[in-house]
Each structure stands twice: as structure tokens, then as C-alpha cells.
Amino acid sequence: MTDSSQAPDDGGPEHSGQPLDWASERTMNPLDTLMWRGDDDRRLRGTVCALELLDLVPDWDRLTAAHEWGSRMVPRFRERVMESPLGVGPPSWAVDPAFDLSYHLRRVRVPGEGSWPRLLEAVQQIAMTPLDRARPPWEAVLFEGLPDGRAAYLLKAHHAMTDGMGAIYGLAQLHSRVREPSPGKPQPPAPAAEPMSPAEVVGRQVARELSGLPAALEAASGSLTAVRHPRAALRSGVRYAQSVPRVLGLFAPPGSPLLRQRSLSWRFSAFDVPFAALRAAGKAVGATFNDAYLTALTGAFRLYHEAMGQPVNTMPVALPISVRRPGDTGGGNKIAMGRLAAPVWLADPYERMVTLREQVRAARREPAADVFAALGPALSWTPTPLLAVAARRTISISDLQASNFPGMSGDFYLAGARIERLYPYGPLPGCAVMATMVTHGPVGCLGINHDAASITEPALFARCIQDGFAEVLELGGAPDRVTHRG
């Protein structure tokens, strides 16, 4: 969301008073559907959070106006999910006729002395609370009472609304480059309410399936063409069939015995990573920033396991891979899943990074990386109980899921308050740890969400995170260290 009197990001569209083309799809895609219905199993609930640290407390009236304006510019924030009366098929999005901004936006004071740990305790309690499925699936909270007059802003939403790249795109469009108000900006009208009947929901489902027919016919035409080259078609089919189990994680290494326990309790922590130094470490090895990031995280797990007296050789890691294309809107989830057998046993960060680099490259080249898109129609029409079983089997097999996204460069503001940090927190879809990083100028803001039953020594784990990054940063000759916001 953004302030009603703020100018757009330099890279965003000029505000003509018309809503942005962000999350304009009227029905969920198959992966959105999987995430939405996965909430029936509380261990798979799909709540995502963005926590912004602000340099001052924004004016409440101005912040409220920001959300009113933002929910008009991005109507998805006024839309609720309409399930099919049949219980199958993709759900629809429709403007909530009873949209109430005062429910979605509230302010509280950080308990006690307003310390960072007390703030994170309050944030993780909110994150663990299920969203009201009868309303637009998001909430925002302004936290006051932090030291030195600072404040924090939490945006909580369901993963079915968008993936990480889409969320960053939306925030980039809606944050402001200036602190001061800019009166006279065009005001878009509130979107018209859509009281949908069950028959209309089914009608949308049928329309979506019909819209997919041209692609299906094109695929069928391609299959007929392949008959002319049966050997090549057979080789391609065999490669795809062999790839499917790998993408689904059926060949993943066993999880760590130390991290085996799972619960419903989330625990948040935050770290500041020197972005340029980590990128330099990757470059020194002929690898990418992402490779260096994964190497540091797996190094942290090696150190943690050794400190706990239970070292492991390999560990299953999931890596979301964005498949967004030019022209895609910011809504929905457009990701594939890469699977890694992280070489935790490799103590040398150089060797570990080279090994992970090759695994990541192989994961990106998997023929069946698009398997969720290929299975999409079948997934959408699978009854929820069976869908939950499939979800648990395919996404609940990793000890670590890690992702990172480019974020903000330069100063951005929310209702006149400068955003000093932005920490992302993904859900725990059955994994022990979810690590998410967003770059904010020279800093990589790392948000760690871990299962309280899996990581039983959080203070030790935090030190291992710092040490895991430190050994990687040394590869680039940097003296920088990762800061833990404790």
C-alpha cells in the first residue's frame, strides 16, 4: 500500500487515476489453488509477511488514506475468494461487497519496552493467526513504541494472492520516492462490488477451462508432429518422465533426524547481510549471488548440526524458481520448484559453493520444471482432501526452503516515514526453516522463519547463521559480518 498523496516509484506507471494492472486474473491458477486449499492442513497454511522498519511513526490518518487509495489502485486488496459450490475447480476472485478497511488495518503498541525481540514476538503471533477466508485475505498492522521514535509496519497476506516476485513488484509500484505529500493526485473510483452467485463461480470455472483449449490443441498438434520423429519424441518423453520424480521431490535425500519434529509454531528472526560482499564472494568462485546465499545457509546448518552433536551428510533443500515472463501481471504464483541435495558435509565453502552451483544449474534445466503447470487442470479439479495429501507429499519433504528477490534501491517512504529495512517472512509448508532475502540498497534483509519444534536452540542457530555467512564472505576477501537483530 502507499500514501494517498504520494508519487509513484520512478520505475512505476504514472498515476492516471486508473487501477494498476496487478493481480487482475479473475480465477486462481492451479498453484494458487493448491496454496489456498492447502490451508485445510494447518501445517501447510500459506501466510506471507513483509515487515518494514520505519524511521518515525507515520501519521495515522495519512496511512489510512494510503490504504484506501492503494486498495483502489490494486483492487485485489478489496477482493475475497469465492469457492466453487462443487468443492473443486479453481476459486474465483470477486470484489467484497462488505469491504471494511478498518478491519484490515489497525495499529498497536509493541509490548513492554518496545524492543526488537518483543516486536518479532508480536509479529509471529499475528502471522500464525489464520486469515478470515470470508474477507480479502490480507491484514496490515502499524506498530508504535519502538526505541528512538521508530515504528514498524507489517503486511500479512495469503500466498495465493501472489508469489515473492509479484509482491516485490507490487510494493515497488506503491511505495513512494518522496517523504512529502503531493496534493492533487488522481483518485481512482472504488471498484464495484461483485456479489457472485454459485452459478457464476461455476461459469467462470468453465470459461477458464475453455480458454485453455487453444493451448491444449497446440500441444496435441505438437504431439502429432512428433509422430514423424518417434525416436526423438521417445527420448524427450523418457527424459521428462525421469525428471518428474526429481521435481516432485520423490528422490530427495532423507531429512535431518535433528530437524524431524514439526509443529504449528513459527519463530521469526532477522539478519542484515552485506549484499555487495556476498555477491563478490560468489563472483570469486565463478558462481552467482544466489549460489553464495545457499552456500552460507547450508554452512549454517552444518555448524548447527555439529554443535548439536548430530552431523549430517546431505539435506533436502527446495528452491523456488520464478517462471514469470514479460507481460505477466504481478498476481498469482508463477514458480517452479528446484530440488537440491545440499552437501552439508562439505566444510570448505569453496567446494560447497561449486557443488551447489552445479545442482542449481541442473535444477533449472529439469525438463519437468513446469510439471505443476502441466498438471494444473487436474490439480484444480482434485477434491481438497486428496489435494492436501498430494501437497504434503511434494512440498513437506524439505528441511530448508530458500529464496531471494531484488528489492528496493534508494530511499522509499510509507506515508512520510522512510523505510529503513524490509524483512520478508514466508510460510513453513512442512519444512523446518524458510529463509527469504530481499535486497534493500546495500543490505540483504534476511528473514528466517523456523519451526519451533525443529530448531530447539534458536540462539545457537542464529550464531550459526552469522558464522555460515562469515565463512562465505571471506571468499571475497570481505571483513564484513552479518548482523543479527536480536
Q: Is residue 416 a part of any domain in this protein?
A: no
pLDDT surpasses 70 at 407: yes
Instruction: For residue 349, give its domain range.
Output: 246-407+429-484
- Catalytic residue, candidates 15, 67, 158, 159: 159
- Sign of the Cα torsion 122, 127, 130, 133 reads positive
pLDDT digits (tens, 9 = 90+) for 208-267: 666 665 554 454 444 445 555 566 655 666 666 655 655 665 567 789 999 999 999 999
**Across-strand partners of 450?**
267, 433
Greater pLDDT, 196 or 423: 423
Q: Could you give the CA distance from residue 334 to residue 327 in angstroms, rounded to a whole number?
A: 13
Domain count, the chain: 1
State the cell numbers at 386: 486428496
For every residue of 119-172, DSSP letters joined together read HHHHHHHHHHSPP-TTS-SEEEEEEE--GGG-EEEEEEEEGGGB-HHHHHHHHH
Greater pLDDT, 98 or 367: 98
461 band by pLDDT with thresholds 50, 70 and 90: very high
Q: For residue 396, what pLDDT is reported? A: 62
Greater pLDDT, 379 or 294: 294
Helices (H), 365-477: 371-374, 376-380, 384-395, 458-473
Strands 400-408 and 315-322 come out as: parallel
Q: For residue 243, what pLDDT is reported? A: 56
pLDDT digits (tens, 9 = 90+) for 36-57: 888 877 888 889 999 999 999 9
Q: For residue 422, what pLDDT is reported? A: 94
84 band by pLDDT with thresholds 50, 70 and 90: confident
pLDDT surpasses 70 at 475: yes
List phi, psi (to 5°) of 474: -65, -25
Choose the weakest-confidence range: 134-143, 187-196, 231-240: 231-240
pLDDT digits (tens, 9 = 90+) for 288-311: 999 999 999 999 999 999 999 999
Q: Could you give the CA distance from residue 31 to residue 91 in angstroms, rounded to a whole number?
A: 11
Among the listed residues 110, 460, 53, 115, the one whose alpha carbon sits nearest the alpha carbon of residue 272: 53
pLDDT digits (tens, 9 = 90+) for 435-445: 999 998 899 99
- Sign of the Cα torsion 346, 349, 355, 359 reads positive
State the cell numbers at 290: 544466489
Q: Is residue 458 a part of any domain in this protein?
A: yes
Q: Is residue 179 a part of any domain in this protein?
A: no
Q: What does the pLDDT average to over 320-344?
A: 74
Q: Is residue 156 a part of any domain in this protein?
A: no
Which of 79-93, 229-243, 313-327 is most confident?
79-93
Residues 6+ apart with CB under 8 A from 234: none
Annotated catalytic residue 159: yes
State the cell numbers at 65: 488514506
CATH value at residue 397 = 3.30.559.30
pLDDT surpasses 90 at 181: no
Whole-number average pLDDT of the chain: 83
pLDDT digits (tens, 9 = 90+) for 3-24: 333 333 333 344 556 777 777 7
DSSP class of residue 28 equals -
pLDDT digits (tens, 9 = 90+) for 412-435: 999 999 999 999 999 998 899 999
Q: Is residue 17 a part of any domain in this protein?
A: no
User: Is residue 25 within 8 Å of residue 119, measured between CB atoms?
Assistant: no
pLDDT surpasses 90 at 397: no
368 band by pLDDT with thresholds 50, 70 and 90: low
Q: For residue 206, what pLDDT is reported? A: 73
Q: Is residue 446 a part of any domain in this protein?
A: yes
Q: Is residue 365 a part of any domain in this protein?
A: yes
Q: Radius of gyration of the chain from Cα atoms?
A: 23
Q: Is residue 371 a part of any domain in this protein?
A: yes
Strands 433-440 and 400-408 come out as: parallel
